[in-house]
Amino acid sequence: MTNNKIIWLKLFVSITKLRTLTQFLIFCGLALSAQDLRVGVETQDAYLNEPFLFQIQVDSEQQANAPRLPAFPGFRVAPQPPQHSHSSRLSIVNGRRTQSVTVTTTFSYLLTPLQLGKLNIPALEVMVNGQVKRTQPISITVREPEKIEGIVLQAQLSGSEAYIGEPLMLTWRWYIDRQIYNYSFNLPVLQRPEFSFPDYRPPIDRARQRQYQGINNQQGAELIALQSNVRFQGKNCSVLVFERPLIPLQAGDYNLPESSAICEIEDLRSGRTQQSRRLSPFDDFETFFSGSRRPTRKISVVAPPLQLRVKPLPSAGQPANFSGIVGQCRIEVSAEPREVNVGDPMVLSIVLSGPPYLDHIKLPPLESLPALAANFKISAQEPGIVQDGAKLFQCTLRANGAGINEIPALEIPYFNSAKGSYDFAVSKPIPIKVEQIHSLTVQDAVGGTVLESISPRELQLSEVGIAHNYEPAAILAAGNQVPGARLSSASTLVGLLLPPGAWALLAAATLWRRRREANPGARLAAKAAAKNLSRLRRMQTDKPEALEELSEILQDYLRQRLQLEPGIVTYADLQHILSARGLSKEDCLPFKQILADCEAGRFAGATTLSLPKLREQMKLAIKGLEAVL
């Protein structure tokens, strides 16, 4: 049998193993891999709102640029990060060595059908080695999906109307009643330029610390969700709840885009066999149809769009020192100390509450309050600290003169959105006592009484001259007459050195204790690696709760070593923290897959690495980070 016959026989046997038209098309794309431009789709038989993978693969001498996408009628297109690989080929012809390098670039897109019927993926123009090449259009059949109950995404605003600058909370709730895999969110509202979405970290309940997790989203926003068990639609299920502040910047009526979540679930549909895991259409043929997990399919759940009306702030009646506080506003004021001399400092504390989000709130300049500025010198105002649902501002006051008996009531202007007009948050006056500065006299210095005059003794003549005011030297001990004799004695040296030595020891002990109490996290940071590596060595990977224990050890190490607040540390957190400390992106790369596996394992029950291998990778990552910190 000739070689050509053997090749075609193997090709025929392979084709007979393909079980769907989609797999046949993918196989054809693989068989033509010698071409420098290839396209592939995960399926040509899609379901409404069920995303599938579309890929373009380019072989060129240099790294290819992403093609400019035309309109995709009937599809929502979500570009994925491109992948690059390099290969080299060495040939020898007539003794001459020739080496060529090929860069293979794969551009991936998640396409979500938005309407039923026949849809077309249009032809694309791709630049390959300086030449424009054109792909062929691909036809996709979109069918009505089966009804998915028990997986529901909801989005909710804290209000349907707001004024410019009035913060609202945008909250998502994702209800899940089954095992899911590889979930990701698309939240296009976060990219709307008409709104500001400031950074936000929810309050962390330490008792529920294990139930927090980062939310993977296409917008790259830092979102932390709390997982709980609830009763929904008559079933027991899990719910992920996360939120983000939304501050309108422009007036108008807005139809906020819908939010969606993509995940994989077990495929129980009869008559439709799929591969056990989603891979690229250009992956190796043998591995594409292999796998150990049950067949899964991607689904997309959508939260309906939200309506919001944003109204402008009226210019009529706006106070001159209005600082932009919109919504409800309350203030409480305190001062310490309350009894001072003229010019002595008093710390004025102003606690502002009311708006749901306070980080961006600032007070008007306190110098603009006439009643306060008339009697006090006011220091520069601090930016404020958010704590316990309120924001604390502090400054220093110094009374201008004696007789001032109160800090007057402060009036902070704000726009009352409930009334639709400007209003003032008013504090209560604070009684104080200011006295004149007391001058220090000589009489004060000597104890407050005038000493009687001391009668001088009359000078007496003697044979040797004027008599001294001390007794004759004969009554002094002989040892005192020798210069340096007293200093050379042990008792004198001990007496001289003991007080300063004791003071130095006391000062060193006090300094050490203060530093230890000022930063107790430094002690934990120093011991974090040894402590958690020991925990990794002792743990058993065959226990049911081993994956959760691995995740807990990793999170404990990162929080202790980097001295972070309680909460789940995501890869984005770690990259930002290490970058701020002058470390490169490569220093945190070892943690990327580990964090992804831990998060996927905790929520989806599956990891890409076995638990023993994941533990070893974690040990290496911790040791590597210790080497560069």
Chain segment 129-178, per-residue pLDDT in tens: 888 888 889 999 998 766 678 899 999 999 999 999 999 999 999 999 98
Task: Supply the angle between the helices 546-562 and 611-628 in degrees, to the nearest 10.
Answer: 10
The CB density around residue 350, as the number of other CB atoms within 10 Å, is 22
According to DSSP, the residues that pair with 108 across neighbouring strands are: 55
pLDDT computed for residue 426 by the predictor = 94
Residue 291 has pLDDT above 70, yes or no: no
CA–CA gap between residue 439 and residue 21 (Å, rounded): 100
CA–CA gap between residue 478 and residue 455 (Å, rounded): 33
Confidence band, pLDDT 50/70/90 cuts, at residue 446: low
Give residue-wise pLDDT tens across range 96-132: 777 677 888 899 998 989 889 999 999 988 888 888 8
Q: Which of 249, 252, 254 is nearest to 311 (CA)?
A: 252
Which domains are delineated in the chain?
A: 32-143 (2.60.40), 151-311 (2.60.40), 330-435 (2.60.40), 520-628 (1.20.120)
Residue 23 has pLDDT above 80, yes or no: no
Give residue-wise pLDDT tens across range 341-380: 998 999 999 999 988 888 888 899 998 888 899 999 998 8
pLDDT computed for residue 292 by the predictor = 43
Instruction: State the sign of the Cα–Cα–Cα–Cα dihedral 227, 593, 625, 623.
Output: positive
How buried is residue 440: exposed, middle or buried, by Cβ count under 10 Å (0-12/13-18/19+)?
A: exposed
The CB density around residue 65, as the number of other CB atoms within 10 Å, is 13
User: How far lies 124's CA from each of 69, 127, 339, in Å?
Assistant: 7, 10, 79
pLDDT computed for residue 456 by the predictor = 44
Residue 603 has pLDDT above 70, yes or no: no
Residue type, 212: Y
Reading the block at residue 456, the tokens are 């001088």
